[in-house]
């Protein structure tokens, strides 16, 4: 997906964003996000999250390892994911959180509100123990 809204001076603003969801095992979904999560792509990110964070999912992992930028709008997407997961009794975790996401999570204090793992494999191992 590529988001390309027009700016007020009619120049095109290009934001590259993609979200792909796969089922790792029954009830366990991995949402891989890549590119920039900002005001131009927040609706696409929200759509991917809403589609994944619903029953019968029991665990949703949001892979942010390929995210190159995360604005406050992107943080809002993650907060919405946490809220939806809580409403539906679904476990939620972030995986592959690199500097573009870790820094805004840390600055805002939101990082402590999420379970964060280095990889999906780490999250699945933790769940099994």
Cβ contact 3:21 at 8 Å: no
Reading the block at residue 24, the tokens are 């790792």
pLDDT at 2: 44
Each residue of 5-20: pLDDT tens digit?
444 555 556 779 999 9
Q: Residue 122: which of 96, 91, 101, 85 has the closest Cα?
A: 96
105 has a pLDDT exceeding 90: yes
Cα distance between residue 78 and residue 102, in whole Å: 12
Contact status, residue 71 vs residue 39, Cβ threshold 8 Å? yes
pLDDT digits (tens, 9 = 90+) for 36-59: 999 999 999 999 999 999 999 999
Phi-psi region of 46 (alpha: psi -120 to 50; beta: other; left: phi over 0): alpha
pLDDT at 15: 76
Per residue in 47-104, pLDDT (tens digit) is 999 999 999 999 999 999 999 999 999 999 999 999 999 999 999 999 999 999 999 9
pTM above 0.85, yes or no: yes
At a CB cut-off of 8 Å and minimum separation 6, what does 22 contact?
29, 30, 32
For every residue of 14-50, DSSP letters joined together read -EEEEEEEEEEETTEEEEEEEEEESTTTHHHHHHHHH
Q: Residue 21 has which token pair?
A: 């969801």
Q: How does residue 128 score in pLDDT terms, banded at 50, 70 and 90?
A: confident
Q: Can you tell me the distance from the alpha carbon of 72 to that of 61, in angstroms, rounded to the nearest whole number?
A: 20
pLDDT of 11 reads 59
């Amino acid at each position: 997906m590529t988001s390309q809204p027009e700016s007020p001076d009619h120049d095109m603003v290009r934001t590259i964003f993609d979200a792909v969801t796969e089922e790792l095992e029954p009830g366990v979904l991995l949402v891989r996000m890549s590119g920039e999560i900002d005001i131009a792509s927040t609706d696409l990110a929200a759509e991917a999250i809403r589609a994944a964070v619903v029953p019968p999912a029991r665990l949703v992992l949001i892979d942010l390892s390929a995210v190159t930028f995360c604005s406050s709008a992107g943080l809002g997407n993650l907060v919405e994911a946490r809220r939806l997961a809580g409403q539906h009794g679904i476990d939620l975790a972030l995986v592959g959180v690199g500097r573009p996401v870790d820094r805004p999570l840390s600055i805002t204090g939101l990082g402590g509100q999420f379970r964060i793992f280095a990889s999906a494999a780490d999250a699945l191992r933790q769940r099994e123990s």
